[in-house]
Amino acid sequence: MFKEGTIAAIATAQGEAGIGIIRISGENSLIIVDKIFTNEKKMRLVKATPRKMYYGNIVDPEQDKVVDEVLVVYMKAPFTYTKEDIIEINCHGGIVSIRRILELLFRYGARAAEPGEFTKRAFLNGRIDLSQAEAVMDLVSAKTDKGFDVAMNQLEGSLSIKVKKMIEEVVEMLAHIEVSIDFAEEDIDKVTLKLLEDKCTKVEGELLDLIKTAETGKIIREGIKTVIVGRPNVGKSSLMNALLKEYRAIVTEVAGTTRDAIEEQLNIKGFLLKIVDTAGIRETENIIEKIGIERTKELFNKADLILFMIDASESLTKEDMQIIELIKNRKALVIINKTDLENKIDLFSIKDLIAEKKIVKTSLKEGRGVDKIEEYIVNMIYEGEVKTKENLLLTNARHKNALECALASIKDALESISSEMALDFIEIDIRIAWECLGEVTGETVREDIIDQIFSNFCVGK
């Protein structure tokens, strides 16, 4: 799990830029960079004062050639991101300078950092726990303010503190049970079933509160996957364009205009919406259109939200009925478009068909109703949200699974308690709850899982 060595990688984004930063971490950082750094005073970097920036050149000693003009800063272990010695080289942005400096670093003993290896070291060296390390990745990839704020909160330890408190409560129970079993004969304050029941009920409540936030949390982190579906020509692409406020998808009066799915991301009042405009669903012999419709069906199955559009100027068709059948158990909004034309739709019969689903009427031609759709989406997100003062939301499926596993074990324990089982029996359930909770912070998580989590990071983070 822990790979030795001094690692180096570009820490800034690749491409043309004012500066690029190369980060080096590990016990040989100073020795390695000292070999390729020089300045007017012929200073030795091994004598550098920590956290002070030094101006100079990176040189290729074999060719006695200046590679780039740089600023170098040394940060001394353990007060660094990884708790190891770190050096950052600020060079000119652009791929050539960075590549050349990295090659020199590799020549003199560093190796290329794996994805997420800096943050992994911060975790393995005990500076942050696993949920905080995961928050680092969320911060970097956040697309909205809300997503960033929630990740920042997690990095600061809001989730860790909460979970650690539950771990403490669980460990306390385990210790009390063990003492009571081991010293059954002695006159000590033994655990009672009542006491265990109270404590387990408390933890159960805390777990439930946290798990409740997961739905909103997922949406904030990953965005809402939304698809626009409907028959050809009802105005799906027109809606896509209206939401994006740009002419993105081709709109024509020809049925079957959109053949391939068009995916875009947009920000609705701080929330990320991943929206797909699809090929209209109908029977067709056209091979391209057929493939497009198959795609639509796939996207439909994966969506968090379906925007189902019908045409007010035509009565419902067989295709409409098929889609109505498909959205029955899904989160969906029904959009009746083209309300500027003569109405051919019987609203009452539709209401019967779609039961409790909301309906919004639009005329995209006249620009009416799009704000209602946006409002519906934002309300839908807030519906699931438990109001928390702090931005503490479960955004990560891994955390949610671990907490659900802890909850199930606590429920088992409560059941054993109510049927007055032996203490060692109850202890087993509580121990499993402890293991599940520890997966969130990384205390009890398996090595291969840790490796897998960090492999999703970007290089240099």
- Using CB under 5 A as the criterion, which residues of the chain lie in contact with Mg ion when the complex forms? 236-237, 257-258
> Least distance in Å: CB of 336 to ligand GTP?
10
Pick from ligand GTP, Mg ion, none: which does 184 bind, CB < 5 to 8 A by kind? Answer: none
Pick from ligand GTP, Mg ion, none: which does 82 bind, CB < 5 to 8 A by kind? Answer: none
Output 57 or 284, the one with its CB closest to ligand GTP. 284
Pick from ligand GTP, Mg ion, none: which does 363 bind, CB < 5 to 8 A by kind? Answer: ligand GTP
Residue that is written with structure tokens 């626009």 in the block: 228
- Please name the amino acid found at residue 360: V
Minimal CB distance residue for ligand GTP:
280
DSSP letter (8 states) at residue 18 = S
Pick from Mg ion, ligand GTP, none: which does 97 bind, CB < 5 to 8 A by kind? Answer: none
Spatial contact of 361 and 312, defined as CB atoms under 8 Å apart: yes
* Bridge partner list, 268: 271
Output 114 or 340, the one with its CB closest to ligand GTP. 340
Output 61 or 367, the one with its CB closest to ligand GTP. 367
DSSP letter (8 states) at residue 139 = H
Pick from Mg ion, ligand GTP, none: which does 94 bind, CB < 5 to 8 A by kind? Answer: none
* Bridge partner list, 21: 90
> Least distance in Å: CB of 249 to Mg ion?
6
| Cα-Cα-Cα-Cα dihedral sign, residues 118, 122, 128, 129 | positive
> Least distance in Å: CB of 233 to ligand GTP?
5
Output 9 or 228, the one with its CB closest to ligand GTP. 228
Closest CA to 219 of 307, 302, 146: 146
Pick from Mg ion, ligand GTP, none: which does 154 bind, CB < 5 to 8 A by kind? Answer: none
Question: What are the CA-CA distances from residue 168 to residues 163, 175, 243 (Å)?
Answer: 9, 10, 48
Output 73 or 359, the one with its CB closest to ligand GTP. 359
> Least distance in Å: CB of 297 to ligand GTP?
14
Residues ≥6 apart with Cβ < 8 Å to 430:
170, 173, 174, 177, 200, 409, 410, 413
> Least distance in Å: CB of 302 to Mg ion?
20
Joined together, the tokens standing for residue 406 give: 């802890």
Chain-centroid distance of CA 8 in Å reads 26
Output 158 or 238, the one with its CB closest to ligand GTP. 238
d(CA 39, CA 44): 9
Output 292 or 442, the one with its CB closest to ligand GTP. 292
Q: Where are the alpha helices (DSSP H) in 82-192?
A: 95-107, 117-124, 130-141, 145-155, 158-182
> Least distance in Å: CB of 242 to ligand GTP?
9
> Least distance in Å: CB of 354 to ligand GTP?
19
Pick from ligand GTP, Mg ion, none: which does 338 bind, CB < 5 to 8 A by kind? Answer: ligand GTP
Pick from ligand GTP, Mg ion, none: which does 109 bind, CB < 5 to 8 A by kind? Answer: none
By CB under 6 A, name the binding residues for ligand GTP: 230, 232-238, 251-253, 255-258, 280, 337-338, 340-341, 363-365
Helix, strand, coil percent content, the chain, rounded in steps of 5:
45, 20, 35
What DSSP line would sit under 188-237, residue for residue? S----HHHHHHHHHHHHHHHHHHHHTHHHHHHHHH-EEEEEEESTTSSHH
DSSP letter (8 states) at residue 181 = H
> Least distance in Å: CB of 166 to ligand GTP?
50
Output 28 or 257, the one with its CB closest to Mg ion. 257
* Bridge partner list, 227: 276, 306
